[in-house]
Amino acid sequence: MRWIKWIGLIAGVLLIGSCFMLWASLPARNIAISGVNAEGTSFGKPGYFHLLLGGIFLILHFIPRIWAKRTNLIVAALNVAWAVRNYFIITVCRQGECPEKHTGIYLVLIASVLVLIAVLFPDMKLPQQPKAEAPKQSEGSTL
Protein backbone atom coordinates (compact mmCIF):
# COMPACT_ATOMS: atom_id res chain seq x y z
CA MET A 1 0.00 0.00 0.00
CA ARG A 2 1.35 3.40 -0.94
CA TRP A 3 1.65 6.20 1.59
CA ILE A 4 -1.35 8.09 0.14
CA LYS A 5 -3.62 5.18 1.13
CA TRP A 6 -2.45 5.54 4.71
CA ILE A 7 -3.00 9.30 4.67
CA GLY A 8 -6.51 8.73 3.31
CA LEU A 9 -7.28 6.13 5.97
CA ILE A 10 -6.00 8.33 8.81
CA ALA A 11 -7.81 11.39 7.45
CA GLY A 12 -11.10 9.47 7.10
CA VAL A 13 -10.90 8.14 10.64
CA LEU A 14 -9.90 11.59 11.93
CA LEU A 15 -12.88 13.15 10.14
CA ILE A 16 -15.29 10.67 11.69
CA GLY A 17 -13.72 11.04 15.12
CA SER A 18 -13.72 14.83 15.07
CA CYS A 19 -17.49 14.89 14.53
CA PHE A 20 -17.86 13.71 18.13
CA MET A 21 -15.50 16.35 19.51
CA LEU A 22 -16.44 19.82 20.76
CA TRP A 23 -16.58 22.30 17.87
CA ALA A 24 -17.60 25.53 19.59
CA SER A 25 -19.17 26.76 22.78
CA LEU A 26 -21.31 29.69 23.85
CA PRO A 27 -20.29 30.36 27.47
CA ALA A 28 -22.98 33.00 28.07
CA ARG A 29 -25.75 30.50 27.27
CA ASN A 30 -23.87 27.43 28.54
CA ILE A 31 -24.16 25.68 25.15
CA ALA A 32 -21.62 23.23 23.77
CA ILE A 33 -21.76 22.52 20.03
CA SER A 34 -20.37 19.35 18.49
CA GLY A 35 -21.04 17.70 15.18
CA VAL A 36 -23.66 15.35 16.57
CA ASN A 37 -25.01 17.50 19.41
CA ALA A 38 -26.05 21.10 18.88
CA GLU A 39 -28.94 21.36 21.33
CA GLY A 40 -30.01 24.90 22.08
CA THR A 41 -29.14 26.10 18.57
CA SER A 42 -30.79 25.93 15.18
CA PHE A 43 -27.82 24.19 13.53
CA GLY A 44 -29.29 20.72 13.51
CA LYS A 45 -26.70 17.96 13.56
CA PRO A 46 -24.12 18.93 10.91
CA GLY A 47 -21.72 16.13 11.78
CA TYR A 48 -24.05 13.41 10.50
CA PHE A 49 -23.39 14.43 6.90
CA HIS A 50 -19.64 14.26 7.60
CA LEU A 51 -20.14 10.79 9.08
CA LEU A 52 -21.98 9.67 5.94
CA LEU A 53 -19.43 11.18 3.54
CA GLY A 54 -16.51 9.87 5.60
CA GLY A 55 -17.93 6.35 5.55
CA ILE A 56 -18.51 6.48 1.79
CA PHE A 57 -14.99 7.85 1.31
CA LEU A 58 -13.40 5.02 3.31
CA ILE A 59 -15.29 2.37 1.36
CA LEU A 60 -14.53 3.87 -2.05
CA HIS A 61 -10.92 4.63 -1.15
CA PHE A 62 -10.03 0.95 -1.10
CA ILE A 63 -11.94 -0.17 -4.20
CA PRO A 64 -9.46 -0.43 -7.10
CA ARG A 65 -11.84 0.64 -9.86
CA ILE A 66 -11.85 3.86 -11.86
CA TRP A 67 -15.54 4.53 -11.16
CA ALA A 68 -14.82 4.36 -7.40
CA LYS A 69 -12.02 6.92 -7.72
CA ARG A 70 -14.19 9.29 -9.74
CA THR A 71 -17.11 8.96 -7.35
CA ASN A 72 -14.77 9.51 -4.44
CA LEU A 73 -13.68 12.83 -5.94
CA ILE A 74 -17.29 14.04 -5.80
CA VAL A 75 -17.66 12.77 -2.23
CA ALA A 76 -14.46 14.53 -1.11
CA ALA A 77 -15.44 17.81 -2.78
CA LEU A 78 -18.85 17.72 -1.07
CA ASN A 79 -17.13 16.99 2.21
CA VAL A 80 -14.79 19.99 1.93
CA ALA A 81 -17.70 22.26 0.98
CA TRP A 82 -19.73 21.00 3.94
CA ALA A 83 -16.78 21.53 6.30
CA VAL A 84 -16.27 25.13 5.15
CA ARG A 85 -20.02 25.77 5.44
CA ASN A 86 -20.05 24.40 9.00
CA TYR A 87 -17.03 26.45 9.97
CA PHE A 88 -18.59 29.71 8.81
CA ILE A 89 -22.09 29.03 10.11
CA ILE A 90 -21.13 27.70 13.53
CA THR A 91 -18.30 30.10 14.38
CA VAL A 92 -19.87 33.35 13.19
CA CYS A 93 -20.76 36.01 15.77
CA ARG A 94 -24.49 36.58 16.27
CA GLN A 95 -26.11 39.44 18.17
CA GLY A 96 -22.81 40.49 19.70
CA GLU A 97 -22.05 37.03 21.02
CA CYS A 98 -19.10 35.17 19.52
CA PRO A 99 -18.67 31.44 20.13
CA GLU A 100 -15.37 30.04 21.33
CA LYS A 101 -13.82 27.81 18.66
CA HIS A 102 -12.46 24.48 19.81
CA THR A 103 -10.18 21.84 18.33
CA GLY A 104 -12.94 19.77 16.72
CA ILE A 105 -13.95 22.33 14.11
CA TYR A 106 -10.34 22.77 13.02
CA LEU A 107 -9.81 19.01 12.82
CA VAL A 108 -12.87 18.67 10.58
CA LEU A 109 -11.39 21.25 8.18
CA ILE A 110 -7.92 19.67 8.20
CA ALA A 111 -9.25 16.13 7.78
CA SER A 112 -11.53 17.22 4.92
CA VAL A 113 -8.62 18.79 3.05
CA LEU A 114 -6.47 15.69 3.65
CA VAL A 115 -9.29 13.51 2.31
CA LEU A 116 -9.41 15.65 -0.82
CA ILE A 117 -5.63 15.38 -1.25
CA ALA A 118 -5.81 11.60 -0.84
CA VAL A 119 -8.49 11.44 -3.53
CA LEU A 120 -6.54 13.59 -5.96
CA PHE A 121 -3.61 11.14 -5.94
CA PRO A 122 -5.16 7.67 -6.20
CA ASP A 123 -3.05 4.54 -5.93
CA MET A 124 -4.16 2.98 -9.21
CA LYS A 125 -2.48 1.91 -12.38
CA LEU A 126 -4.43 2.46 -15.56
CA PRO A 127 -4.31 -0.23 -18.26
CA GLN A 128 -1.94 0.60 -21.09
CA GLN A 129 -3.44 0.87 -24.55
CA PRO A 130 -1.32 -0.36 -27.44
CA LYS A 131 0.14 2.41 -29.55
CA ALA A 132 -1.48 2.83 -32.94
CA GLU A 133 0.83 2.25 -35.84
CA ALA A 134 1.62 5.22 -38.04
CA PRO A 135 -0.24 5.10 -41.36
CA LYS A 136 1.95 3.88 -44.20
CA GLN A 137 2.49 6.17 -47.14
CA SER A 138 2.00 4.76 -50.58
CA GLU A 139 5.21 4.52 -52.53
CA GLY A 140 3.94 6.31 -55.64
CA SER A 141 2.53 9.41 -53.99
CA THR A 142 4.52 12.58 -53.48
CA LEU A 143 3.52 15.75 -51.82
Phi (first) and psi of residue 100, to 5 degrees: -85, 130
pLDDT, tens only, 62-75: 898 999 999 999 99
- What pLDDT score does 37 carry? 86
> Across the strands, what pairs with 59?
none
Q: Are residues 99 and 24 in contact, defined by beta-carbon separation less than 8 angstroms?
A: yes
- State the DSSP code for 139: T
Q: How far apart are CA 30 and CA 37, in angstroms?
A: 14
Q: How far apart are CA 84 and CA 116, in angstroms?
A: 13
Angle at 56 between CA 54 and CA 5, to 5 degrees: 75
String of DSSP letters for 78-119: HHHHHHHHHHHHHHS-BTTB-PEE-HHHHHHHHHHHHHHHHH
Q: How far apart are CA 129 and CA 126, in angstroms?
A: 9
- What pLDDT score does 94 carry? 85
- What pLDDT score does 40 carry? 76
Residue segments in the chain with a per-residue pLDDT below the cut of 70: 1, 126, 132-143
